[in-house]
């Protein structure tokens, strides 16, 4: 028997809760396999709820020990308790107190939702629906309560006892060897923001004084011995707190802000009020084990979680359909923070790369959904690139459309009007609509419609009338379950560039909406004519990637070369280089498939040469321009009937041609760009390392004498993880001499550091070549691999499935089989990790017929599994639909 699909939850069915829970008093007696939770809930019937309306509380896998209502033990006919639900048939009076005692087994909790143990430390994860695994509750974000949490545990095993809010009392429990701590959080919050931590952890302290003079104690808790690796995270936290005050006027609101790093965590991190819990990979960093990318990620995730204190916690979501209300806005905020800390252009390029590589394929496949979905079966599957990344793009477009001042005024209004609320996208947009005195009804389609709009732009220059006409159209390609998409409001930042490379001053053409340098496309078709244009300009469109659309612009090869050299917008300059590379790659893939041997265009080779030597571009930007589109990017561009082997061949061919033409420059850049002196994670130094390592990646495939030795030497001499892992990746992926020796050396050096070992697993899992499959299978039994740890699973299996297109989509189906089989193994213990891994099949229909048939077989195998989790059932059903 096949497991049933969970019923659909629909936005249109939303009903406010029938009861409120004003306060929650928890007493948690911690023990590894038998933890007792006593919860006292003060419950009030809502105005408008009929007296006697049954109270239904959510549960998940709960064991009820006892319950009382206003101190009285109810009769068996007054309630019904099941593992997933507690119902009181006729609750008394208007307000009453419910006392619930539940028994939990943290050690048996492998789902990492609710209360579990990670390397001995007790911790919780409650978003989205984990609190119901602790006690019965109205586990929905529009029920806000004030929590007081008393923790009791053995003092030796758990000297540290933490919960949300401020510490109000602590002490020993007689001479039992146990002790207690009581935490009180004065800010009403939904249950998903509840957290507790107990364990034997080291504390790294700091202080922060707020703009208005409050002294905040900051602490990062980590396993003993890891204290030295917290400095960057703490520095990032302090900068985030300062930035949020300066840019948004938002201050922290408790006496203490605690961060705990744990090694077993399903996601990146969690914004629990006053007690953020982090996947340790987003806290721990030192030059020896973390790359520049890791440093940047830590800075961004620390900021993201901290920023949630206002956008998410003080103002939360009415229901889970509104997830983008907190996530899209908070991603936008963390992107802005990183832009201010680093280079805005480089950050924008990195964010757009991520959007295009993760969100665009999601939006183009069977898992497509609107930024604000209207229906779901399992909310855990909606923590997606669409909700997060496209959600942030929508906020960014809003700012572009209404302008910086109105955007600021709208946000101020939002914070003032909705502080303490559980609210909606409508309420959010209303603030901006009011602040800008503008109607945002059409704009709100960005939240409603799935699919990436395709914008087509044609230009025409009329010599006689001296006019330049831009014809624009927009269309959303078919999305499953979405008919008749309507035109969106698309802000298109642009410039008309004259022959000398300067932007023309165009003024607003008749009858168009134009705001400064932004064209507003809000119809299916639109024509814009610019007058008094003396000679044919080049249209630079979608500058800064001003909207999350696919741009289909008929630029000639010469125009692209011109933009790559001259565009004053760094993003579009980068984009022009990428477009040239992509055109070549698509053409070469087609030729390879036909069995023809074609050459990359001389333009592409020349443009790369210009980038290399252009001293006006900083190193980080040059490094970005030298990143060839990934195999997945190319496959996406091709769109259908994809042969990943041909894609790989074409990409290698281009890489070698570029290396052949510019080998000497690459060699000298690899030497000269490398910063010397002690390691610093700052953006400028990271940019230098990125450029040097990028150059080295071309040296690796050049015919230059001693190329392989150069890479080995770089590996052996590396004094930081960025350089070491770059060199290792080249040795392994390009199968250079000493590949095995390098892997062994790395293993020896890092075997005691699991985050560094993740990179070792990942490097091997993403290596092209038929032997990788057997290697990945073997690595699943490696002593340092752990199928119960999400980071290990991601580093070995997720990276194989998403970062190794030729081997995942092998022509014999063995790659799909390996992943399907792993999904089934993992699903029993951790459905969230399994269903996430399963999403790697999402583009299966774009593959050639033979491969897509093999992918379908693997998916059907997963689908036929009897006891599939709700999470994986939802993904497999939608992927096959
Ligand atoms: N809310 C977290 C964030 O974006 C992500 C998360 C979701 C973590 C669900 C755990 C569980 O910051
Ligand atoms: Zn978030």
For residue 198, pLDDT over 80 is answered with yes
Identify which ligand lies nearest to the alpha carbon of 270.
1
User: 598 near 591, Cβ under 8 Å?
Assistant: yes
SS3 616: coil
**What region, left, alpha or beta, does residue 466 occupy, with left being phi > 0 and alpha being psi -120 to 50 degrees?**
left
Q: Answer yes or no: 305 catalytic.
A: yes
- Retrieve residue 782's tokens: 């490696």
Partnered with residue 219 across adjacent β-strands are 205, 258
Say how many Å lie between the CA of residue 19 and the centre of ligand 1: 27
pLDDT tens digits, one per residue of 56-100:
999 999 999 999 999 999 999 999 999 999 999 999 889 999 999
234 phi, psi to nearest 5 deg: -65, -45
H/E run at residue 196: strand 196-199
Say how many Å lie between the CA of residue 370 and the centre of ligand 1: 19
The total number of residues shown for the chain amounts to: 881
188 and 129 housed in the same domain: yes
* ipTM reported for the complex, 2 dp: 0.99
User: 215 near 207, Cβ under 8 Å?
Assistant: yes
- The pLDDT score that the predictor gives to residue 675 is 86
DSSP assignment of 471-491: EEEEEPPPBTTB-S--PPPEE
Atom of ligand 1 nearest to the CA of 388: 4
Residue 289 lies in a domain: no
pLDDT tens digits, one per residue of 523-568:
999 999 999 999 999 999 999 999 999 999 999 999 999 999 999 9
SS3 729: helix
Say how many Å lie between the CA of residue 192 and the centre of ligand 1: 10
- The pLDDT score that the predictor gives to residue 507 is 72
The residue whose CA is least distant from atom 1 of ligand 1 is 270
- Retrieve residue 500's tokens: 């000398």
Ligand 1 pocket: which of 141, 193, 268 to mutate (most atoms within 8 A of CB):
268
Give the N- to C-terminal CA distance of the chain in Å, as an integer: 20
Atom of ligand 1 nearest to the CA of 312: 1
Count the neighbouring beta carbons within 10 Å of the beta carbon of residue 212.
7
- The pLDDT score that the predictor gives to residue 1 is 44
Ligand 1 pocket: which of 271, 311, 381, 791 to mutate (most atoms within 8 A of CB):
271
Average pLDDT of the segment spanning 29-40:
98
Higher-confidence position of 615 and 631: 631
SS3 18: coil
Q: At what angle do helices 707-717 and 644-672 cross, to 10 degrees?
A: 70
- What pTM was computed for the model? 0.98
- The pLDDT score that the predictor gives to residue 6 is 82
For residue 2, pLDDT over 80 is answered with no
Report which of 648, 589, 585 is spatially closest to residue 808, judged by C-alpha positions: 648
Atom of ligand 1 nearest to the CA of 383: 7
pLDDT tens digits, one per residue of 827-863:
999 999 999 999 999 999 999 999 999 999 999 999 9
561 and 413 housed in the same domain: no
Identify which ligand lies nearest to the alpha carbon of 330.
2
User: 686 near 292, Cβ under 8 Å?
Assistant: yes
Which CATH number characterizes residue 383's domain?
Answer: 1.10.390.10
Query: How many separate domains does the chain show?
Result: 5
Partnered with residue 125 across adjacent β-strands are 114
369 and 485 housed in the same domain: no
Residue 831 lies in a domain: yes
Residue 829 lies in a domain: yes
Cα-based distances in Å from 181 to 101, 190, 658: 19, 22, 63
Catalytic residue, chosen from 127, 129, 223, 305, is: 305
**What is the Cα 324 distance to its own chain's centre?**
12
- Retrieve residue 299's tokens: 């800075």
561 and 522 housed in the same domain: no
Q: Taking the CA of residue 130 as centre, how many other CA atoms within 13 Å lie in the half-sphere pointing to its CB?
A: 25
The residue whose CA is least distant from atom 9 of ligand 1 is 127
Identify which ligand lies nearest to the alpha carbon of 302.
1
- What is the DSSP secondary structure assignment for residue 504, as one 8-state letter? P
Which CATH number characterizes residue 617's domain?
Answer: 1.25.50.10
Q: In which band, very low, low, confident or very high, does the pLDDT at 510 lie, cut at 50, 70 and 90? A: low
Q: Which residues contact 65 (CB under 8 A, 6 or more apart)?
A: 36, 101, 102, 103
Q: In which band, very low, low, confident or very high, does the pLDDT at 506 lie, cut at 50, 70 and 90? A: confident
Q: In which band, very low, low, confident or very high, does the pLDDT at 509 lie, cut at 50, 70 and 90? A: low
pLDDT tens digits, one per residue of 445-455:
999 999 999 99
The residue whose CA is least distant from atom 7 of ligand 1 is 127
Say how many Å lie between the CA of residue 335 and the centre of ligand 2: 12
3-class SS string, 567-612: CCCHHHHHHHHHHHHHHHHHHHHHHHHCCCCCCCCHHHHHHHHHHH
Residue 848 lies in a domain: yes
Say how many Å lie between the CA of residue 290 and the centre of ligand 1: 23
Say how many Å lie between the CA of residue 407 and the centre of ligand 1: 26
The residue whose CA is least distant from atom 5 of ligand 1 is 270
Domain boundary pick from 173, 200, 227: 200
Exposure string (b/e) for 329-349, b if CB count within 10 Å is 16 or more? bbbbbbbbbbeebbbebbbbb
pLDDT tens digits, one per residue of 671-720:
998 888 899 999 999 999 999 999 999 999 999 999 999 999 999 999 99
Ligand 1 pocket: which of 269, 381, 384 to mutate (most atoms within 8 A of CB):
269
Domain boundary pick from 448, 469, 493: 448
Report which of 839, 770, 858, 754 is spatially closest to residue 806, judged by C-alpha positions: 770
142 and 49 housed in the same domain: yes
Burial class (CB in 10 A: 0-12, 13-18, 19+), 879: buried
- What is the DSSP secondary structure assignment for residue 164, as one 8-state letter? S
Atom of ligand 1 nearest to the CA of 113: 11
- What is the DSSP secondary structure assignment for residue 517, as one 8-state letter? T
User: 600 near 654, Cβ under 8 Å?
Assistant: yes
Report which of 255, 261, 273, 269 is spatially closest to residue 300, judged by C-alpha positions: 269
494 and 582 housed in the same domain: no
Average pLDDT of the segment spanning 255-272:
98
Handedness of CA 872, 874, 875, 878 (dihedral sign): positive
Query: In which domain, by residue range, is 371 found?
Result: 316-448
61 and 189 housed in the same domain: yes
DSSP assignment of 741-789: HHHHHHHHHHTT-HHHHHHHHHHHHT--STTHHHHHHHHTT-TT--TT-
How many Å apart are CA 524 and CA 88, to the nearest integer? 54
The C-alpha angle 19, 22, 26, rounded to 5 degrees, equals 115
The C-alpha angle 266, 267, 270, rounded to 5 degrees, equals 115
Atom of ligand 1 nearest to the CA of 380: 9
Say how many Å lie between the CA of residue 312 and the centre of ligand 2: 8
Atom of ligand 1 nearest to the CA of 304: 12
Q: At what angle do helices 404-418 and 391-402 cross, to 10 degrees?
A: 120
Which CATH number characterizes residue 159's domain?
Answer: 2.60.40.1730
Q: Which residues line ligand 1 (CB under 6 A)?
A: 125, 127-128, 267, 269-271, 304-305, 327, 383
Domain boundary pick from 200, 221, 244: 200
688 and 831 housed in the same domain: no
Residue reference for tokens 């204290």: 227
Q: At what angle do helices 683-699 and 707-717 cross, to 10 degrees?
A: 150
Which CATH number characterizes residue 511's domain?
Answer: 2.60.40.1840
- Retrieve residue 789's tokens: 């740890």
Say how many Å lie between the CA of residue 502 and the centre of ligand 2: 40
For residue 512, pLDDT over 70 is answered with no
Say how many Å lie between the CA of residue 173 and the centre of ligand 1: 35
The residue whose CA is least distant from atom 12 of ligand 1 is 270
Ligand 1 pocket: which of 266, 279, 301, 383 to mutate (most atoms within 8 A of CB):
383
43 phi, psi to nearest 5 deg: -110, 135
Identify which ligand lies nearest to the alpha carbon of 113.
1
Residue 598 lies in a domain: yes
Q: At what angle do helices 754-765 and 739-750 cross, to 10 degrees?
A: 160
How many Å apart are CA 556 and CA 576, to the nearest integer? 11
How many Å apart are CA 694 and CA 690, to the nearest integer? 6
Identify which ligand lies nearest to the alpha carbon of 790.
1
User: 422 near 190, Cβ under 8 Å?
Assistant: yes
173 and 60 housed in the same domain: yes
- Retrieve residue 655's tokens: 């890489």
User: 85 near 59, Cβ under 8 Å?
Assistant: yes
517 and 591 housed in the same domain: no
Return mean pLDDT, the chain.
97
Residue 721 lies in a domain: no
Atom of ligand 1 nearest to the CA of 308: 12
Say how many Å lie between the CA of residue 146 and the centre of ligand 1: 21
Cα-based distances in Å from 668 to 46, 306, 698, 854: 72, 42, 12, 46
User: 168 near 274, Cβ under 8 Å?
Assistant: no
Residue reference for tokens 């082997």: 645
For residue 514, pLDDT over 70 is answered with no
Residue 233 lies in a domain: no
The residue whose CA is least distant from atom 2 of ligand 1 is 270
179 and 107 housed in the same domain: yes
Average pLDDT of the segment spanning 509-534:
85
Atom of ligand 1 nearest to the CA of 305: 12
676 and 533 housed in the same domain: no
**What is the Cα 567 distance to its own chain's centre?**
30
CA trace torsion 341, 344, 346, 351 (10° rounding) = 90
The residue whose CA is least distant from atom 8 of ligand 1 is 270
Say how many Å lie between the CA of residue 18 and the centre of ligand 2: 28
Residue 301 lies in a domain: no
Count the neighbouring beta carbons within 10 Å of the beta carbon of residue 11.
15
Identify which ligand lies nearest to the alpha carbon of 392.
2
């Amino acid at each position: 028997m096949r497991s049933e699909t969970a019923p659909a939850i629909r936005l249109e069915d939303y009903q406010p809760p029938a009861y409120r829970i004003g306060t929650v008093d928890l007493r948690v007696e911690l023990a590894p396999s038998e933890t007792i939770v006593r919860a006292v809930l003060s419950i009030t019937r809502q105005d408008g709820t009929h007296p006697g309306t049954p109270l239904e509380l959510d549960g998940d896998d709960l064991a009820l020990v006892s319950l009382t209502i206003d101190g009285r033990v109810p009769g068996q006919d007054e309630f019904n308790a099941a593992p997933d639900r507690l119902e009181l048939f006729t609750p008394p009076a208007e307000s009453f107190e419910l006392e619930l005692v539940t028994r939990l087994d943290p050690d048996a909790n492998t789902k990492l939702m609710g209360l579990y143990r990670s390397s001995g430390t007790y911790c919780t994860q409650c978003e989205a629906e984990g609190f119901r695994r602790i006690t019965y509750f109205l586990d929905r974000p529009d029920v806000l309560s004030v929590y007081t949490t008393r923790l009791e545990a053995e003092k030796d095993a758990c000297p540290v006892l933490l919960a949300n809010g401020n510490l109000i009392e602590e002490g020993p429990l007689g001479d039992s060897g146990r002790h207690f701590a009581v935490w009180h959080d004065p800010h009403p919050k939904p249950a998903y923001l509840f957290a507790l931590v107990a364990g034997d952890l080291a504390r790294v302290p700091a202080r922060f004084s707020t703009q208005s003079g409050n002294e905040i104690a900051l602490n990062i808790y980590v396993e003993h011995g890891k204290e030295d690796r917290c400095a960057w995270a703490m520095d990032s936290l302090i900068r985030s707190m300062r930035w949020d005050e300066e840019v948004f006027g938002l201050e922290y609101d408790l006496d203490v802000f605690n961060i705990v790093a744990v090694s077993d965590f399903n996601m990146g991190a969690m914004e629990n009020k006053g007690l953020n819990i982090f996947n340790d990979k987003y806290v721990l960093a030192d030059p020896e084990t973390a790359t520049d990318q890791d440093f940047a990620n830590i800075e961004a995730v620390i900021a993201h979680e901290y920023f949630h204190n206002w956008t998410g916690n003080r103002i939360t979501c009415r229901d889970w359909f509104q997830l983008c209300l907190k996530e899209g806005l908070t991603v936008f905020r963390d992107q802005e923070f990183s832009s201010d800390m680093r280079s805005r252009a480089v950050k924008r390029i990195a964010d757009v790369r991520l959007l295009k590589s993760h969100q665009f394929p999601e939006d183009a496949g069977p898992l497509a959904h609107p930024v604000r979905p209207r229906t779901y079966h399992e909310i855990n599957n909606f923590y997606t690139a669409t909700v997060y990344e496209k959600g942030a793009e929508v906020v960014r477009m809003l700012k572009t459309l209404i302008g910086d001042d109105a955007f600021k005024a709208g946000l101020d209004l939002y914070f003032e009007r909705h502080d303490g609320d559980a609210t909606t996208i409508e309420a959010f947009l209303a603030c901006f609509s009011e602040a800008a005195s503008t109607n945002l009804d059409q704009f709100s389609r960005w939240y409603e419609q799935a699919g990436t709009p395709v914008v087509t732009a044609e230009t025409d220059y009329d010599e006689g009338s001296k006019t330049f006409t831009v014809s624009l159209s927009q269309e959303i390609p078919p999305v499953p379950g979405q008919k008749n998409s309507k035109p969106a409001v698309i802000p298109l930042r642009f410039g008309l560039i004259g022959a000398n490379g300067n932007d023309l001053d165009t003024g607003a053409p008749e009858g168009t909406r134009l705001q400064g340098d932004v064209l507003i496309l809000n119809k299916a078709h639109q024509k814009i004519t610019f007058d008094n244009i003396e000679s044919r300009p080049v249209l630079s469109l979608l500058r800064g990637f001003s909207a999350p659309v696919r741009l289909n612009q008929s630029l000639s090869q010469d125009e692209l070369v011109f933009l790559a050299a001259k565009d004053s917008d760094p993003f579009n300059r980068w984009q022009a280089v990428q477009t040239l590379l992509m055109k070549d790659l698509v053409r070469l893939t087609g030729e390879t498939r036909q069995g023809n041997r074609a050459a990359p265009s001389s333009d592409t080779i020349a443009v790369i040469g210009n980038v290399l030597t252009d001293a006006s571009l900083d190193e980080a930007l040059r490094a970005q321009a030298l990143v060839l589109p990934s195999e997945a990017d190319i496959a996406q561009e091709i769109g259908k009937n994809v042969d990943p082997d041909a894609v790989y061949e074409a990409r290698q061919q281009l890489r070698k041609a570029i290396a052949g033409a510019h080998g000497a420059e690459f060699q000298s850049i690899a030497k000269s760009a490398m910063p010397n002196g002690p390691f610093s994670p700052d953006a400028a130094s990271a940019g230098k390392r990125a450029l040097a390592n990028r150059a080295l990646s071309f040296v690796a495939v050049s015919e230059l004498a001693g190329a392989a030795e150069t890479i080995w030497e770089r590996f052996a001499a590396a004094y930081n993880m960025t350089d070491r892992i770059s060199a290792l990746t080249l040795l392994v992926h390009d199968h250079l001499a000493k590949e095995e020796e390098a892997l062994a050396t790395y293993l020896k050096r890092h075997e005691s550091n699991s985050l560094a070992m993740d990179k070792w697993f990942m490097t091997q899992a993403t290596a092209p070549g038929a032997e990788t499959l057997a290697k990945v299978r073997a690595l699943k039994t490696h002593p340092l691999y752990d199928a119960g740890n999400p980071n290990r699973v991601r580093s070995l299996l997720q990276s194989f499935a998403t970062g190794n297109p030729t081997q995942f989509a092998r022509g014999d189906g063995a790659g799909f089989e390996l992943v399907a089989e792993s999904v089934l193994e993992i699903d029993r213990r951790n459905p969230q990790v399994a269903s996430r891994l399963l999403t790697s099949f999402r583009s299966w229909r774009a593959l050639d017929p033979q491969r897509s048939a093999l992918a379908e077989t693997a998916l059907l195998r997963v689908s036929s599994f009897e006891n599939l989790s709700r999470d994986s059932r939802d993904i497999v059903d939608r992927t096959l639909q």
